[in-house]
Amino acid sequence: MTKWLLCLIAAGMLGGAVNAAPGDYLSPFAISYDAATKSLYVAEKTARQVARVLPGSGTVNKLYPLPSEPNGLALSKDGKTLFVTVEEPQGRIYVLNTDSGETVKQINAGHTPMSPKLSPDEKTLYVCNRFDNNVSIIDIASGKTVKKLAATREPVALTLTLDGKFLYVANHLPEGAANVDFMTSVIQIIDTQKKEVIKNIALPNGAIDLREMTISPDGKYVYVPSIFARFLVPTTQIERGWINTHALNIIDAKQQRLIHTVLLDDVDLGAANPWGVGCSPDHKYIVVVHSAPHELSIIDREKLFEKLSTVPENDGTHKFEELAENPMNDLSFLFGVRRRIHLKGIGPRNLVVLNDRAYITEYFSDSLGVVALSPDIKDNVRSVPLGPRKEMDSVRKGEMYFNDASLCYQQWQSCSTCHPDARMDAVNWDLLNDGIGNPKSTKSLLLAHMTPPAMVRGVRPDAETGVRAGIRYIQFAVPEEDKSVAIDDYLKSLKPIPSPHLVDGKLSAAAERGKKIFEEAGCSMCHEGAYYTDMEKYDVGTGADNEAGTEFDTPALIEVWRTAPYLYDGRAAAMTDIFRTFNPKDEHGNTSELTDEQLNDLIEYVMSL
Ligand code: HEC
Ligand code: HEC
């Protein structure tokens, strides 16, 4: 008898249970509750399926296989139709009949659709197209996209006001040049009748890496958790959230403005990498998932607002941010207001909150967390397996460690804090590997191991050394070799995501023209080979201030469409700026003679890699 079966019997869960495809990790991610059948739907990413789960027992009683990895769910009110977004460059939304399990329809969306939301009349579907940087408004009956609205940078989450009039869009990353002293992810508000973006709400300085948001059950507030990056200070220490803290941003939905930002950490314990957020239907609790230390914050909503009524509201100015008695700077503000609960599963992501319980997808342990919210209930934390647990290989372990803040002193951050999805956070950090006072734009770790040396100035011989240095000098912990090796294996396993600039997976006509210019302008002298780097260092005239004349490691160009801003200090917001503004003497390829059209073609090519 398999361990899994024993487990089921022990949990008394055999009635009507179905098994996951054997040998797969599940990676539960999105979750949705169906009041009609009192069941949960769980999108299991790497297993490429949705599971229907009974909340009481954790029994999986139906599986819905999909061709790609599902990341988002929206359920019709009668529980009969489930809309599932999947991670594809030419993204689709699968419309499933929950009874028959059949796909009744496929709706085309953009690159990596996420966070589907239904209008109250269930005629319209809204969806983020993460890598197209826009939001689709889709007419469900015809399956046609009515309009696409531009987002700022990687829209990942949507929430709709109760009347359906306003759609909030959470952008994952900040946009613009990074050698500045203000960087933030933006919340946009779309008027769904006008079908226009009517407002951009900048979060406080350093509020980045957005993942999820929710509207309160009374429709009055939008809650958005974020990382709160202190990117202006050198990373010399980590105590008291010196490098990164974590926050809940509270938007007043009527006034459509940010009114409060509250820190979620404790003075000596970070609450790293917040992800999902939800409210109990009675609005007694706000629950925030901390994905990296595997915790929940259960916030007593009444007490929180009582306490907030004694502090000034955010007036949107820098002056406000500097106020001493400001919950934005107060690591003990939530004392007596919030309970931190350690989960039994690993890598929590999203949640639904029913009256007295929260159900949390636990990505790395392939399980469902169940937490009773009332402080009076003992034994209040369970973790129920969602299928046979596959032994983790080194790659999966490495991904888990990379996303784990318990490897960091006082849980202040994980590697994924600055390298979300193993890429980059689009801000500059003054790490100490190359001295102090010369901030560098965070590097994506795709291909890091294949293209030594590592770091912008090549100060580490290879990425392996960089990984261990990261644990020692940024996590302030002692690297353990087996964990470092697993992180290496995970990073080596990363696959590039096809560029949104490709047309049916191929170079566009403009990119084909640009490919020739790439040769003619001398780009391929240094950006050569499969990864577009000769792995040598050059002074291409970009070094400024105390780095004037410095040679930098030639960066790989695969997936460079995703990693703006550019150059070592992130001063080039767009790729055009690299050549039109920061290459006056043609030291970085021969670009001064190119016409605007030729330069556009060249950039179209590079952005397609
Ligand atoms: C505080 C933000 C931050 C954290 C946390 C962080 N990094 Fe980085 N990382 C950076 C920045 C910024 C760079 C680029 C700096 C440079 O090149 O000088 C970088 C570069 C790297 C590189 C070199 C990549 C290349 O191609 O040259 C590796 C490898 C790396 N990080 C691994 C890690 C690992 C592993 C962790 C977790 C143990 C981690 N980082 C945590 C900010 C961070
Ligand atoms: C002499 C070698 C060399 C040549 C020739 C060269 N590059 Fe570069 N390239 C580099 C180096 C070194 C950097 C890093 C510079 C920095 O960070 O300031 C770089 C940076 C870049 C970046 C920014 C990448 C990032 O992530 O920030 C792009 C894009 C790029 N090059 C494209 C091109 C194109 C297109 C051409 C031809 C017009 C070209 N390069 C010619 C060496 C070269």
Domains and CATH numbers, the chain: 397-492 (1.10.760.10), 509-606 (1.10.760.10)
- Atom 32, ligand 1: residue with shortest CA distance: 467
Stretch 47-76: mean pLDDT, rounded?
A: 95
Measured from the alpha carbon of residue 532, the closest ligand is: 2
Distances (CA, A) of 180 to 77, 424, 568: 46, 17, 13
Distance of CA 419 from the midpoint of ligand 1 (Å):
7
pLDDT digits over 278-302, tens only?
A: 999 999 999 999 999 999 999 999 9
Stretch 397-401: mean pLDDT, rounded?
A: 97
pLDDT at 11: 38
Ligand 2 neighbourhood includes 563 CB (under 6 angstroms)? yes
Q: Is the pLDDT reported for residue 6 higher than 50?
A: no
Q: Hey, which residues does 249 pair with through a beta bridge?
A: 224, 261
Q: What is the DSSP letter of 518?
A: H
pLDDT band at 17 (very low <50, low <70, confident <90, very high): low
Q: Which atom of ligand 1 is nearest to the CA of 429?
A: 12
Q: What is the DSSP string of 182-247?
A: ----EEEEEETTTTEEEEEEEPSTTEE-----EE-TTSSEEEEEEEEE-TTSBSS--GGGSSEEEE
Measured from the alpha carbon of residue 451, the closest ligand is: 1
Ligand 2 neighbourhood includes 556 CB (under 6 angstroms)? no
Q: Is the pLDDT reported for residue 72 higher than 90?
A: yes
Average pLDDT over the chain, rounded to an integer: 94
pLDDT at 3: 42
Q: What residue type is assigned to position 161 of the chain?
A: T
Q: Is the pLDDT reported for residue 9 higher than 90?
A: no
Q: How far apart are CA 188 and CA 337, in angstroms?
A: 29
Q: 404: helix, coil or strand? A: coil
Distance of CA 432 from the midpoint of ligand 2 (Å):
24
- Residue 323 tokens read as 């106020």
Q: Which atom of ligand 1 is nearest to the CA of 456?
A: 17
Q: Hey, which residues does 569 pair with through a beta bridge?
A: none
- Residue 312 tokens read as 């000034």
Q: Which residues, other chains included, contact 319 with Cβ-Cβ below 8 Å and sequence gap of 6+?
A: none
Choose the residue to mutate in 179, 526, 534, 547 for probing ligand 2, maximizing ligand atoms within 8 Å of C-beta. Answer: 526
Ligand 2 neighbourhood includes 571 CB (under 6 angstroms)? no
Residue 418: closest CA among 466, 351, 479, 363 = 466
Q: Which helix (H) or strand (E) holds 322?
A: helix 318-322
Residue 571: closest CA among 558, 559, 588 = 588
Ligand 2 neighbourhood includes 565 CB (under 6 angstroms)? no
Q: How far apart are CA 330 and CA 280, in angstroms?
A: 26
Ligand 1 neighbourhood includes 454 CB (under 6 angstroms)? yes
Straight-line distance from the first to the last Cα atom of the chain, in angstroms, rounded to the nearest whole number? 49
Q: Hey, which residues does 309 pair with through a beta bridge?
A: none
Measured from the alpha carbon of residue 567, the closest ligand is: 2
pLDDT at 21: 52
Q: What is the DSSP string of 478-489?
A: PPPHHHHHHHHH
Residue 209: HSE in the Cβ half-sphere, 13 Å Cα cutoff? 31
Measured CA angle at 346 (ends 340, 351), to 5 deg: 65
pLDDT at 19: 52
Tokens 């290879």 belong to residue: 462
Stretch 251-262: mean pLDDT, rounded?
A: 96
Q: How far is CA 408 from the centre of its chain?
A: 20
Q: Is the pLDDT reported for residue 584 higher than 60?
A: yes
Q: Which helix (H) or strand (E) holds 63?
A: strand 60-65
Count helices and strands (H / E) in the chain: 11, 33
Stretch 198-214: mean pLDDT, rounded?
A: 96
Q: Is the pLDDT reported for residue 5 higher than 50?
A: no
Q: Which atom of ligand 1 is nearest to the CA of 448?
A: 26
Q: What is the CA radius of gyration of the chain?
A: 24
Measured from the alpha carbon of residue 208, the closest ligand is: 1
pLDDT digits over 338-375, tens only?
A: 999 999 999 999 999 998 999 999 999 999 999 999 98
Ligand 1 neighbourhood includes 487 CB (under 6 angstroms)? yes
pLDDT digits over 155-188, tens only?
A: 999 999 999 999 999 999 999 999 999 999 999 9
Q: How far apart are CA 70 and CA 127, in angstroms?
A: 14
Choose the residue to mutate in 451, 513, 525, 540 for probing ligand 2, maximizing ligand atoms within 8 Å of C-beta. Answer: 540
Q: What residue type is assigned to position 511 of the chain?
A: A
If one counts every other C-beta atom within 10 angstroms of the C-beta of residue 209, the result is 27
Q: Is the pLDDT reported for residue 40 higher than 80?
A: yes
Measured CA angle at 219 (ends 217, 222), to 5 deg: 95
- Atom 26, ligand 2: residue with shortest CA distance: 566
Q: Is the pLDDT reported for residue 106 higher than 50?
A: yes
Measured from the alpha carbon of residue 543, the closest ligand is: 2
Ligand 2 neighbourhood includes 48 CB (under 6 angstroms)? no
pLDDT at 57: 87
Choose the residue to mutate in 527, 547, 567 for probing ligand 2, maximizing ligand atoms within 8 Å of C-beta. Answer: 527
pLDDT at 315: 85
Residue 82: closest CA among 56, 52, 46, 48 = 52
Q: Which atom of ligand 1 is nearest to the CA of 466?
A: 29
CA 21, 22, 23, 27 torsion-angle sign: positive
307, 240 contact by CB (below 8 A): no
Question: Please, is 512 exposed, middle or buried when counting C-beta atoms within 10 Å of its C-beta (0-12, 13-18, 19+)?
Answer: middle
Stretch 478-487: mean pLDDT, rounded?
A: 95
pLDDT digits over 428-461, tens only?
A: 999 988 888 999 999 999 999 999 999 999 999 9
Ligand 2 neighbourhood includes 575 CB (under 6 angstroms)? yes
Q: How far is CA 424 from the centre of its chain?
A: 10
- Residue 94 tokens read as 């699968």
pLDDT at 12: 35
Q: Which atom of ligand 1 is nearest to the CA of 408?
A: 38
Q: Is the pLDDT reported for residue 78 higher than 90?
A: yes
Tokens 């948001």 belong to residue: 213
